[in-house]
Amino acid sequence: MNYTTKIANQVFHHLFINAAGVYCQTVEELEQIQNAPCAGAVITKSATAKERSGNSEPRYFENSVEHNTINSMGLPNLGIDYYLNYVLKHSLKLPTLFSIVGLSQSEIIDNLKKLQASGFSGLTELNLSCPNVSGKPQIAYDFAATREILDNVFAFYSKPLGVKLPPYFDIAHFDQIAAILNDYPLAYVNAINSVGNGLVIDPETDTVVIKPKDGFGGLGGKQIKATALANVRALRQRLHPQIKIIATGGVINGRDVYDHLLCGADLISIGSQLEIEGPTVFARLEKELEEIFADKGITDLRQVRGKLKLIA
Ligand code: YRO
C-alpha cells in the first residue's frame, strides 16, 4: 500500500506516530521511534519553558491484558531547549512534530515565540489540555479561552501548527469547538488526549493505582476507542477539509487503525499500546492493516478514508 500522506510541508510514508508523552522524553526514546519499522513520524514530549520532573510515582498504571492505562504524569519533560536541540542538531530521518504546552497562557506564547525564531521546520502541536486559571477547566474545555489563545498565537506564529484536543462528549461541544477551529489556519487537529478524569482501583488492596491526584488520571487504551472514533468522525464532518486529522485513542490492532481511517483519520498515533508493547507495535499494526486491505480488495487509502457507512 502507498501510505504517502501530507500535512502542511511534511510528507509521511507510514501512518503511525508515537502519541505525545510516550517514548519521547529523551533523545534515546525519540531515536527508538525514529528507527522503528513503519513509524511515519515522531513527536516530542509536550515541552514547558523549564525542565520538570513531574508528579510523584506511581504516576502511570497499565493493565496489559485489557490494554488499558491511566496516568497522571504531571508533565515531566526536559524543557523546550532540550527538544529544540534534538530537532535541530540531530539528522532526523522522519518528519518531526514538536509538542508545546504551558502552565499559563504567557508560557505558551513564550514557547511558541522561541520555536518561531528557531530553525525548526516541522509541525508544531499545541497541547490545549493546559491548566488555565485555577478553578476553571483545562483550556480546551473553556471555549472562550481556546479562542483567546488561538487569536494570540496566530497573531505571530507562521509555522504549520496543529492542536491536540481532549475528548468531547456532547454534540453541541463538537459544534462549538469545530466552529472555533475553523476560524484559524490550522494545519491539523490531533484527537484525542487521554479521557479525564478516570479512577482505577486495585481489587486486591482496595487502593487507587496511581498516587497523584488521589488516584484520578487520564485514561488511555482499548477503553477509549469509541470516544476517540466519535471525536475523529465528528471533527472530520465539521472541520474545513484543509485541516487534517491525526487520530489518537484506542488503537490496539489493525482493525482499530482501519476504523480510525473510516472516520477520516490522516495519520494515527499510538499511546498506551506503544508503552505496553514497545516500538515494534507500528510494524505489527501495518501488517494487520494490510491483511484487512487484502481481504477487502482495497488498493488505495482513498477507498477507506472517511468512507464510514451509515444505516439507511
Ligand atoms: O500528565 C501528563 O503529563 C499528561 N498526561 C496526559 O495523558 N495528557 C497530557 O496532555 C499530559 C500533559 C499535560 C497536562 C495534562 C499535565 C497539563
Distant-in-sequence, close-in-space partners of 79: CB < 8 Å, separation ≥ 6: 47, 48, 49, 50, 51, 52
Query: Model confidence at 132, in pLDDT bands (50, 70, 90)?
Result: confident
Query: Model confidence at 197, in pLDDT bands (50, 70, 90)?
Result: very high
Q: Rg for the chain (alpha carbons), in Å?
A: 18
130 is catalytic: yes
Q: Is 97 helix (H, G, I), strand (E, B) or coil?
A: strand
Distances (CA, A) of 213 to 69, 71, 209: 16, 10, 11
CA 181 to CA 189: how far, in whole Å?
Answer: 9
The 8-class DSSP code of residue 64 comes to: T
Q: Is the CB of 269 within 6 Å of ligand 1?
A: no
pLDDT at 4 over 90: yes
| Phi, psi for residue 242 in degrees, rounded to 5 | -75, -15
pTM of the model as a whole? 0.99
Give the tens place of pLDDT for each residue, 218-259.
999 999 999 999 999 999 999 999 999 999 999 999 999 999
CA 104 to CA 16: how far, in whole Å?
Answer: 31
Query: Model confidence at 131, in pLDDT bands (50, 70, 90)?
Result: confident
pLDDT at 90 over 90: no
Q: Is the CB of 195 within 6 Å of ligand 1?
A: no
Distance from residue 129's CA to the centre of ligand 1 (Å): 7
Give the tens place of pLDDT for each residue, 97-124.
999 999 999 999 999 999 999 999 999 9
Q: What is the pLDDT of residue 237?
A: 99
Q: Is the CB of 127 within 6 Å of ligand 1?
A: yes
Query: Which ligand 1 atom lies nearest to the CA of residue 220?
Result: 7
Catalytic residue (one of 24, 38, 130, 263): 130
CA 309 to CA 136: how far, in whole Å?
Answer: 39
Q: Is the CB of 75 within 6 Å of ligand 1?
A: yes
For the chain, the average pLDDT equals 98
Q: What is the pLDDT of residue 235?
A: 99
For 312, the grid coordinates are 439507511
Give the tens place of pLDDT for each residue, 47-77.
999 999 999 999 999 999 999 999 999 999 9
Query: Which ligand 1 atom lies nearest to the CA of residue 76?
Result: 3
pLDDT at 125 over 90: yes
Distances (CA, A) of 254 to 184, 215, 286: 33, 32, 7
CA 22 to CA 269: how far, in whole Å?
Answer: 10
Measured by CA distance, the residue closest to atom 10 of ligand 1 is 129
Distance from residue 49's CA to the centre of ligand 1 (Å): 15
Q: What is the pLDDT of residue 175?
A: 99
Give the tens place of pLDDT for each residue, 171-184.
999 999 999 999 99
Contact (Cβ atoms closer than 8 angstroms) between residue 77 and residue 47: yes
| Phi, psi for residue 175 in degrees, rounded to 5 | -60, -45
Q: Is the CB of 137 within 6 Å of ligand 1?
A: no
Distance from residue 136's CA to the centre of ligand 1 (Å): 16
Average pLDDT over residues 147-158: 98
Contact (Cβ atoms closer than 8 angstroms) between residue 26 and residue 78: yes
